[in-house]
Amino acid sequence: MNPFSTFNRIVLGPLAGLFFLLYGLACVLEPIDGDLTRLGAYWENDYGWNAVQEGFTEPLFDFNAEGRYEHYYDAVVIGDSFSIKNFPYQWQSFLVASTSLTLLTLPVDKVDIDQLIASPVYRNSPPRLVIFESVERAVVSRLSDVYRAESACAPANDPVIPPFDQREIYVPLTPVERNRAVSPLAPNFSESAHMIKGTIKRWYDLNIKMRLGRLPQTVRLPLMRTGLFSSRVQDAILLYRQDFWKTQLTPEIERRALCGLYSLQNRIQSNDITRFVTLVAPDKATAYDTNIRFGELRSHNHAKFIEDTPDAPVAPLLPAIKRAIENGTEDVYMPNDTHWGEAGNRIAADALVRYLRKSGAIR
């Protein structure tokens, strides 16, 4: 037997097959766009958003990745990925366009509240407004972490300064489309390799890990209605597994989180100038819960008790989000992502404006 024929059959044959598989996928796979499609190895062709969004060519706010407040701003946002992803349709830009506030965004994991308010720049030129934004699945732990047993568990007095005069800024919006480019002349082999490895991992997650009670990073569940997303797939939703890690809240857990919220408010508003407000970004599973067939899975709601607490400094976002979804608004959250589309970002900005106007912070 010719040894070269054996080598070709055993080694080169499978390698050639793998190459053609990689090349074939690289010619048809649309570029990865969402965090859920990336984590779960789901095709953007199926779960990518197709409706044209509208956004800003440049953000209307500043961002300091190191968490530093270096000069005066009307408003400071301390937030997580819902605030720092910097989509063209980011909610802070819609807020600035609606109010004319100058705004700085700081990443929550880089900010020590006590160090921030004690810094000379902050003390000499404090902002009129601090917005603490947190995704729902992390808000209870974040508020509990800033809880102080010695602090009064009660809301702070409102600042004594006059309200900010609201003034809209006209900024033309530009269409935003997802990159769907594919070409046999420029195949993306790294993307097709990622998809092959991810598909194998997904099979393992669904057939082995889930039988052991462990969820894959991206959870795919059936929907009870269509028209909620602009993706090709209409009968299923992609969710992040941490949406299902939330536990049932006890009265003590709720009390500690609310006391942490009031502690933050009292520390921020102690200068009688700065107003504090919290924005809770609902988990995707919470936002769409009435439209999802959960089966044996459960996603506990950690946003409602905070928003429903009288006198809590929280912009009521969850009802507005759910109302838009129930009315059939498309892509409130992106089908391939854990975050909002243009519609969700607009709703968040509008909820803040309504809260600030009602509380007397703006007029």
Strands (DSSP E) found in 56-170? 62-63, 75-79, 103-107, 129-135
Q: Any idea what DSSP says for residue 283?
A: -
Q: Any idea what DSSP says for residue 269?
A: G
- According to the model, what pLDDT value does residue 106 have? 98
**Residues whose CB is less than 8 angstroms from the CB of residue 175 and which lie 6 or more positions away in sequence, other chains included:** 52, 53, 54
Q: Are 120 and 66 in contact (CB under 8 A)?
A: no
Reduce the DSSP state of residue 137 to 3 states and report it: helix
| Length of the chain as a residue count | 363
332, part of any domain:
yes
Alpha carbons 18 and 23: distance in angstroms, whole number: 8
Q: Are 92 and 59 in contact (CB under 8 A)?
A: yes
CATH code, 119 = 3.40.50
pLDDT, tens digit only, all 363 positions of the chain: 555 565 455 555 565 555 556 566 666 778 899 999 999 999 999 999 999 999 999 999 999 999 999 999 999 999 999 999 989 999 999 999 999 999 999 999 999 999 999 999 999 999 999 999 999 999 999 999 988 776 779 999 999 889 999 999 999 999 999 998 877 766 776 677 777 777 778 877 777 777 777 899 999 999 999 999 999 999 999 999 999 999 999 999 999 999 999 999 999 999 999 999 999 999 999 999 999 999 989 899 999 999 999 999 999 999 999 999 999 999 999 999 999 999 999 999 999 999 999 999 999
- According to the model, what pLDDT value does residue 20 have? 56
- According to the model, what pLDDT value does residue 196 have? 75
Q: Are 326 and 94 in contact (CB under 8 A)?
A: no
Alpha carbons 156 and 266: distance in angstroms, whole number: 5
Domain extent, residue 268, equals 53-170+243-359
234, part of any domain:
no
Return the half-sphere exposure (C-beta side, CA atoms, 13 A cut-off) of residue 275: 24
Number of compact structural domains in the chain:
1
* Order of strands, sheet of 275-281, starting from the edge strand that comes earlier in the sequence: 62-63, 103-107, 75-79, 129-135, 275-281
Tokens (6 digits) for 187: 């195949």
313, part of any domain:
yes
189, part of any domain:
no
Report residue 147: phi and psi, to 5°: -65, 135
213, part of any domain:
no
**Residues whose CB is less than 8 angstroms from the CB of residue 155 and which lie 6 or more positions away in sequence, other chains included:** 262, 265, 311, 312, 313
Output the CA–CA distances (angstroms, integers) from residue 277 to 7, 224, 262, in the order listed. Answer: 69, 35, 10
22, part of any domain:
no
106, part of any domain:
yes
Taking the chain, what is the end-to-end CA distance rounded to the nearest angstrom? 89
> For residue 79, which amino acid is it?
G
Q: Are 33 and 48 in contact (CB under 8 A)?
A: yes
Q: Are 337 and 38 in contact (CB under 8 A)?
A: no
pTM, whole model, 2 decimals? 0.91
39, part of any domain:
no
**Residues whose CB is less than 8 angstroms from the CB of residue 205 and which lie 6 or more positions away in sequence, other chains included:** 214, 215, 216, 217
